[in-house]
């Protein structure tokens, strides 16, 4: 309570009583995870046992009732918060006819994606090192983590309580499907389990294998799995079979049959016996030196089978079509030199060995080849590579001579399709979703592909604004960290390149001038409101420098007719001097 003494005009004193200011506190944090329980508390510091009633106000939330809530208790508990609870909360206390001062508003942010990822890769050979990383994006404080393999809590789970769990050296028995779960607060709030992350550890001394063709199974057909032992190469009599880390058939036989296969049977399978656990050979395709190229560059696609390097031959596919010269990559590497515009596409490889043949299909690897001065351009509006979900996006093919005959195409989640049902050279997506992430390009009626661009859609609160096209060496690169609610740069942000911090929280903008090839890499930004997706920034070497040197020499030779003669005479003198010295 604050008392002020006031002397009025008659000379008498009067006392003014100012009631204290209300204060709002939030548990466990002002930035919370979806589904978490939040307690908002209104405190009015006042002596005595005075009964208060409370009035809560919200701003910016999407409640379907009035923004003023009258609650008679100090605490307002919100069970299982959702995105629409995000906003500003404030309160006042009521005592009879008197009211406390209005509190300052606190901002409650409901966000967070619970993600489990692996570094450097999920396919390993025994003895390698691997780290599983559990992240709660948008809310990074106060969490501890538990770890599970094949639905069983790991006995040493506590060593990964900080969010990272390292296996070094990795052993065969570490193969399995991992998940994590985060916890904080008292009483504890538990997140849902994370996404699943399989780890495959193979070794030359691996005694078990799961026998089945890894070519896609036709829906309605029969799938048969066998658990084989190395010494006999025949089915083991008793084995457990797992799908995505869960037991699907107990030890009754060494064979598992699915008589009518459906899409729900798709997944990661392995078998386990008292002799050990299987690890499936897996082909993986990678690119050297990089997937973004300019026509005329050279690039090599490399197909590898983890844990097994002998006896394999390889086939190559682009956009699901087997390449006509696929056989020249049978040794595991497929080189494009020089790369041309028509080489743009999504590549996969398939490894094969043995009789009857055992097949393993790789991951996908996209190559984007752009022209030095493309006659056809894919124009994107807004002009950036990352976009918020629910926003709109416009794309159009613009030809310097004629835009007719070009269609906007895209590759998303292993599907190649027209950008939309619209006809012509334009495409508009009214409300973006994460499934719209992919590679977009212009395609002619004859199948030519031009100007591919990578577009990503984020359902979080922060994106990185960067050039949708490669940056020209020598130009200026400007990056902004944008927030969903304002779609404008955030004042303070961290910027990262290839996982390393390159600019601390001083501004929401990062400038690189002049840009060189060394600045090429994977960038993202992070703020207290969340983290953006990663964007590959490609730097293209300009041909203008070479042209300008040629022009200068041409000018000098034309303007100075004696220059060439002088050079010839100097060269002759040099040769004569060399002969004399001999």
The CATH number of the domain holding residue 417 is 2.60.40.10
What's residue 6's pLDDT?
52
Helices 544-559/561-581 angle, 10° precision? 90
Shared-domain flag, residues 198 and 212: no
Residue 73 exposed, middle or buried by CB count within 10 Å (0-12, 13-18, 19+): exposed
What's residue 316's pLDDT?
92
Give a yes or no: residue 218 inside a domain: yes
Which residue, 167, 202, 237, sits at the end of a domain?
202
What's residue 208's pLDDT?
46
Give a yes or no: residue 170 inside a domain: yes
Shared-domain flag, residues 6 and 107: yes
What's residue 574's pLDDT?
44
The whole-angstrom separation of Cα 110 and Cα 81 is 7
Q: In angstroms, how far apart are the furthest CA atoms of the chain? A: 122
3-state secondary structure 96-111: CCEECECCCCEEEEEE
Which residue, 459, 487, 515, sits at the end of a domain?
459
Shared-domain flag, residues 6 and 106: yes
Contacts with 133 (C-beta within 8 Å, 6 or more apart), sequence order: 116, 117, 118, 119, 163, 164
What's residue 545's pLDDT?
37
Q: Exposed e or buried b for every residue in 366-386, given b needs 16+ CB within 10 A?
A: bbbbbeeebebbbbbeeebbb
Shared-domain flag, residues 6 and 102: yes
Give a yes or no: residue 578 inside a domain: no
Give a yes or no: residue 360 inside a domain: yes
Cβ contacts of 154-162, under 8 Å, gap ≥ 24 = 160/132, 160/134
Shared-domain flag, residues 261 and 359: no
Give a yes or no: residue 572 inside a domain: no
Q: Are 342 and 448 in contact (CB under 8 A)?
A: yes
Give a yes or no: residue 442 inside a domain: yes
Which residue, 418, 438, 459, sits at the end of a domain?
459
Where in the sequence is the domain holding 8, given as residue range(s)?
2-111
What's residue 386's pLDDT?
93
Number of domains in the chain: 6
pLDDT digits (tens, 9 = 90+) for 442-458: 888 877 777 788 888 98
Give a yes or no: residue 554 inside a domain: no
Shared-domain flag, residues 366 and 396: no
Give a yes or no: residue 215 inside a domain: yes
Contacts with 293 (C-beta within 8 Å, 6 or more apart), sequence order: 299, 339, 367, 368, 369, 370
Instruction: Kindly give the parts of the chain with pLDDT less than 50.
Output: 1-4, 64-66, 204-215, 279, 544-575, 577-582
């Amino acid at each position: 309570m604050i008392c002020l003494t006031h002397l009025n005009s008659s000379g008498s004193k009067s006392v003014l009583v100012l009631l204290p200011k209300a204060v709002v506190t939030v548990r466990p944090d002002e930035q919370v995870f979806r589904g978490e329980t939040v307690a908002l508390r209104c405190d009015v510091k006042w002596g005595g046992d005075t009964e208060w009633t409370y009035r809560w106000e919200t701003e910016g939330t999407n409640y379907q009732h009035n923004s003023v809530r009258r609650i008679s208790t100090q605490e307002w508990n919100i069970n299982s918060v959702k995105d629409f609870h995000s906003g500003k909360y404030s309160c006042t206390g009521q005592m009879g006819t008197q009211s406390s001062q209005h509190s300052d508003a606190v901002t409650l942010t409901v966000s967070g994606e619970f993600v489990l990822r692996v570094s450097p890769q999920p396919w390993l050979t025994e003895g390698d090192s691997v780290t599983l990383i559990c992240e709660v994006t948008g809310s990074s404080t106060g969490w501890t983590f538990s770890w599970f393999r094949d639905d069983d809590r790991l006995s040493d789970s506590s060593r990964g309580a900080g969010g990272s769990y390292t296996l070094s050296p990795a052993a065969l028995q570490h193969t399995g499907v991992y998940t994590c779960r985060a916890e904080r607060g008292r009483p504890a709030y538990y997140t849902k389990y994370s996404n699943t992350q399989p780890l495959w550890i193979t070794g030359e001394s691996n005694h078990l294998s799961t026998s089945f063709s890894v070519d896609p199974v036709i829906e309605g057909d029969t799938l048969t799995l066998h658990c084989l032992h190395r010494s006999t190469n025949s089915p083991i009599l008793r084995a457990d079979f797992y799908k995505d880390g869960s037991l699907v058939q107990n030890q009754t036989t060494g064979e598992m049959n699915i008589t009518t296969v459906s899409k729900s049977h798709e997944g990661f399978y392995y078998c386990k016996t008292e002799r050990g656990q299987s690890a499936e050979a897996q082909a993986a395709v990678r690119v050297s030196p990089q997937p973004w190229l300019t026509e005329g560059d050279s690039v090599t696609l490399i197909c590898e089978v983890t844990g097994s390097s002998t006896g394999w031959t390889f086939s190559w596919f682009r956009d699901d079509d087997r390449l006509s010269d696929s056989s020249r990559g049978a040794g595991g590497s497929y080189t494009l030199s020089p790369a041309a515009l028509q080489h743009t596409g999504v590549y996969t490889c398939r490894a094969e060995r043995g009789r009857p043949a055992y097949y393993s299909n790789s991951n996908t690897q996209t190559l984007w080849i752009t022209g030095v001065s493309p006659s056809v351009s894919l124009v994107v509006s807004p002009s950036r590579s990352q976009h918020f979900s629910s926003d709109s996006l416009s794309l159009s093919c613009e030809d310097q001579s004629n835009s007719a005959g070009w269609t906007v195409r895209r590759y998303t989640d292993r599907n190649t399709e027209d950008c939309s049902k619209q006809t012509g050279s334009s495409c508009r997506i009214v409300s973006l979703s994460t499934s719209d992430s992919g590679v977009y390009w212009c395609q002619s009626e004859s199948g030519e592909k031009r100007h591919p661009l990578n577009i990503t859609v984020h359902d979080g609160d922060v994106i990185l604004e960067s050039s949708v096209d490669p940056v020209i060496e020598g130009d200026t690169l400007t990056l902004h960290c944008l927030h969903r609610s304002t779609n404008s740069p955030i004042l303070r942000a961290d910027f990262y390149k290839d996982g390393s911090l390159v600019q601390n929280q001083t501004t929401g903008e990062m400038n690189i001038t002049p840009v060189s090839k060394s600045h090429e890499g994977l960038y993202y930004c992070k703020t207290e409101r969340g983290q953006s997706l990663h964007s590959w920034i490609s730097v293209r070497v300009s041909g203008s420098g070479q042209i300008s040197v040629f022009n200068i020499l041409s000018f000098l030779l034309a303007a100075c007719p004696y220059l060439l003669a002088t050079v010839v005479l100097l060269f002759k003198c040099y040769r004569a001097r060399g002969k004399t010295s001999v």
